[in-house]
Amino acid sequence: MVRGCLHVDDVLISGDLITLSFRRFKHSSIQGPQSLQIQGACSPGSSIYVAAFLRDFLRARGAKQALLFAYPDGSPMLRREFDVALKQLLIFCGYQSSAFKGHSFRIGAATAAALRCESDAQIRAAGRWTSDAFRRYIRIA
């Protein structure tokens, strides 16, 4: 198993709820493994059904590779490669790609949690922050 990468068995989809288990990350030696739950149903006004998309993705890629994001030969997708793929996808969908990076997911998750009025402790736990650094990620206009 490649350390620090999400594996297929780190993903659990139960109905509309997606649970991602992070075994290794920046502070995992201090905090231990952490889980993040994502509601996979459509947001109001959206046609994106994340749980169904993820199920289709897992079905299409097959179970032969242990890594969640891997090439056909099983080698892991590197962070910079993910960023390039994200940029290409955003351009394809007609978005201004310069406004997004891989780290945008942390910003979006922290902002969405703040908008849902989650407590600082909940946001800190979900983002695996050990300090108040999460406050810099919240972008409410």
Domain residues for the domain of 22 are: 1-69
In 3D space, the residue among 5, 11, 103 whose CA is nearest the CA of residue 57 turns out to be 11
Residues 10 and 57 grouped into a single domain: yes
124 has pLDDT over 60: yes
Residues 58 and 9 grouped into a single domain: yes
**CA dist., res. 107 & res. 73, Å (int):** 32
- Starting at the edge strand found earlier in the chain, the sheet holding 17-22 runs 11-14, 17-22, 34-39
Q: Indicate the number of domains in the chain.
A: 2
The mean pLDDT of 45-74, rounded to a whole number, is 78
Residues 50 and 22 grouped into a single domain: yes
Element containing residue 39 per DSSP (H, E): strand 34-39
Write the CB contacts of 106 (distance below 8 Å, at least 6 apart in sequence).
127, 137
65 has pLDDT over 70: no
pLDDT of amino acid 8:
85
What pTM value is reported for the model? 0.60
Residues 65 and 6 grouped into a single domain: yes
DSSP letter for 65, please: -
Question: In this predicted model, which residue has the larger pLDDT, 94 or 1?
Answer: 94
Residues 85 and 62 grouped into a single domain: no
Q: Tell me the Cα Rg of the chain.
A: 16
Confidence at 60, pLDDT banded by 50, 70, 90 = confident
Residues 134 and 93 grouped into a single domain: yes
**CA dist., res. 77 & res. 79, Å (int):** 7
46 has pLDDT over 80: no
